[in-house]
A and B are shown apart, each in its own frame.
Chain A
Amino acid sequence: MREKTHIVILIVLVVAFALVIFLSPIFWMVLTSFKEKGEYFTYPPVFISRTFDLNHFARGLEIGGRKGITDSFIIASLATLLSMTVGALAAYSLARFRIGGKNLAFWILSIRMMPPIASVLPLFLFYRFLHLLDTYTALIITYSIINIPFAVWMLKGFFEDLPAELEEAAMVDGCGRFGAFYRIALPLIAPGLVATALFCFIFSWNEFFFALILSRSRITPVTVVISGMIGGHEILWAEISAVATMASLPVILIAIILQRYLVRGLTLGAVKG
């Protein structure tokens, strides 16, 4: 359908305006991270810092940022690895053998729908009993049970899109079922595998609720670090913004990589996009 020029211009203006609204708070954060103390506590607000002090990034890392980012990275990576391994096996079983029919698959999905507040209480007591509070293990296990249903549901879709003939041919040639899965099916869904893993990583990286409850002082994921800094009695906005910027960077990069799979991932495969 051809559009009239003035309509196109109007739409472009509206979209541009919306884009400004949706991006300016993020810009504000990045700008704040360069500001001196006098510049973020002043009226009228200073938009661009005169000093452009990059030291806030170093100081932000020093006062908890480095530990936070490291902890988040360890937890998110291991939780992703665990949920992808378990998830890929289960997804393959559901897609190829149709084990448990629709019910099993749906049951797995429904676990993800549970409100976190309902599962955090028994998990907290469980970890307390095992003396696992404030450890990597507790958060890795927790994020895995959030991510496994997601990984299963996503990967099931990717396996189903894959014709079974290839694996059957490989098995005729003497490849076992596990070989067919490991050597044929997995490499063929590699893009889907990467997309799912990146999603699991983002979910774990961004998570705050479980992190807040299951961590104390030994383990401090970056989300907990940021919220702790804001709760403090003197708020160092430049340092906080610097840490927040650094915590957002990996996610922004991943979002750009994920472009093609975003819709599928964000709706658990309900909308294929």
Chain B
Amino acid sequence: MGKIQKIQLNFNLEKHMALIFILPCVIILISISVFPFIYSLFLSLNSWQLATGGAKKFIWLANYGRLFTEPRFWNSMWNMGKELIFGVTSQFVIGLLLALALNRIFRTRSLITTLFLLPMMIPPVVVGCNWRQIYHFSYGPLNYILRLFHISNEGLNWLGSVKLSMPSIIISDTWEWTPFMMIVLLAGIQSIPVDLYEVARVDGASRWQMFLHITLPLLKPTIIVVVLIRVMDAFKLFDLVVLLTQGGPAGSSETIAYYNYLVGFKYFDVGYAAALAYIQLIIIIIIANIFLKFMPGEERKK
């Protein structure tokens, strides 16, 4: 008798299997990711000084009003913007050039490409620790080289001057993330069919023309993906700031992520910190949508 029942049971199980399989994931993500996230939106409408043990007070959009008039917020956004403009751009340009160079001598990815990746694989804290030594004013190897070649006889105060602190962070960040651009762009370049270039060559196209009319257009989806990933990462620029400058001197290298951290976990101004985070989230969503608009239709579905 059991057989028919068993088949019936199996059939029902099969139907529910899809649900059972996905349930743990959805429950976990909703309960410890989505729900807190909505709670955070509520927090951003409150004034809550956790340090002094004050109670939550609902203040509508006052936190948002406050951040728009606060110079420190704009300063930290601008510092993050510098990373966006100079950091991501140089990472992209150097990464693309290296990818093109590597593509010419190596047909497949090899150990050499993996060696290039070490800067981005090692913990970011270690990267900060390395550069802290390299930038050291009196004993660092970088100033030693500058003095050796008489580029600057005193050496540059990389981390301790208002002018150079942010550029120093951007240089370290570029060192860390150019390899990422390089490897992904290289993968994109190598996925372009070789016969396209053959045909173009038969038609007498120059290298530059091939690059402009074959490589770049076919690389476009890859470019959009890597640049978007790095743009979103710019908002997270935190580790290097902590390790190298702590935002100083005089706030000259305070990025939005670091400022947000200070407001939330040093000043414990919880409501305001939540508002800062939400503003970033909104900007990120807008940027991501603009980028995806440029995605060719076929790829956009991903």
- Is the CB of B115 closer than 8 A to any CB of chain A? yes
**Shortest Cβ distance from A18 into B: residue:** B98
- Is the CB of A251 closer than 8 A to any CB of chain B? yes
Interface residue range, chain B: 35 or more
- Is the CB of A90 closer than 8 A to any CB of chain B? yes
Alpha-carbon distance A226/B129, docked complex (angstroms): 8
With A19-B115, A267-B225: A119-B129 Cβ-Cβ less than 8 Å: no
In the complex, per-residue mask of A143-165: 1 if CB is within 8 Å of any chain B CB, else 0:
01100110010000000000000
B32 touches A141 (CB 8 A): yes
With A271-B187, A273-B184: A227-B125 Cβ-Cβ less than 8 Å: yes
With a cutoff of 8 Å between Cβ atoms, the chain B residues found around residue A145 in the complex are: 28-29, 32-33
In whole Å, how far is B84's beta carbon from the nearest beta carbon of chain A? 14
The residue that A251 contacts in the complex, of B18, B105, B123, with Cβ under 8 A, is B123
- Is the CB of A139 closer than 8 A to any CB of chain B? no
**Shortest Cβ distance from B103 into A: residue:** A11
- Is the CB of B286 closer than 8 A to any CB of chain A? no
- Is the CB of A23 closer than 8 A to any CB of chain B? yes
In whole Å, how far is B199's beta carbon from the nearest beta carbon of chain A? 13
B123 touches A114 (CB 8 A): no
- Is the CB of B133 closer than 8 A to any CB of chain A? yes
- Is the CB of B214 closer than 8 A to any CB of chain A? no
B265 touches A213 (CB 8 A): yes
In whole Å, how far is B98's beta carbon from the nearest beta carbon of chain A? 6
The residue that A102 contacts in the complex, of B39, B191, B301, with Cβ under 8 A, is B301
B118 touches A86 (CB 8 A): no
A226 touches B17 (CB 8 A): no
- Is the CB of A263 closer than 8 A to any CB of chain B? yes
With a cutoff of 8 Å between Cβ atoms, the chain A residues found around residue B141 in the complex are: 28, 45
A93 touches B18 (CB 8 A): yes
**Shortest Cβ distance from A237 into B: residue:** B133
In the complex, per-residue mask of B99-143: 1 if CB is within 8 Å of any chain A CB, else 0:
001101100010111111111011111111111111000111100
**Shortest Cβ distance from A116 into B: residue:** B236
Candidate in A102, A121, A222 with the most chain B CB atoms within 10 angstroms: A121
With a cutoff of 8 Å between Cβ atoms, the chain A residues found around residue B59 in the complex are: none
In the complex, per-residue mask of A1-45: 1 if CB is within 8 Å of any chain B CB, else 0:
101000110011011001101110110110010000000111111
With A118-B37, A267-B184: A113-B288 Cβ-Cβ less than 8 Å: yes
A97 touches B243 (CB 8 A): no
Q: List 7 A-B contacts (CB under 8 A).
A: A3-B105, A28-B133, A40-B139, A86-B28, A104-B26, A122-B37, A230-B132
Task: Kindly list 13 other residue pairs between chains A and B, CB separation below 8 angstroms, not including A43-B138, A262-B117.
Answer: A19-B116, A21-B175, A22-B116, A29-B129, A89-B24, A100-B22, A102-B301, A117-B260, A148-B29, A209-B238, A241-B129, A247-B126, A259-B111
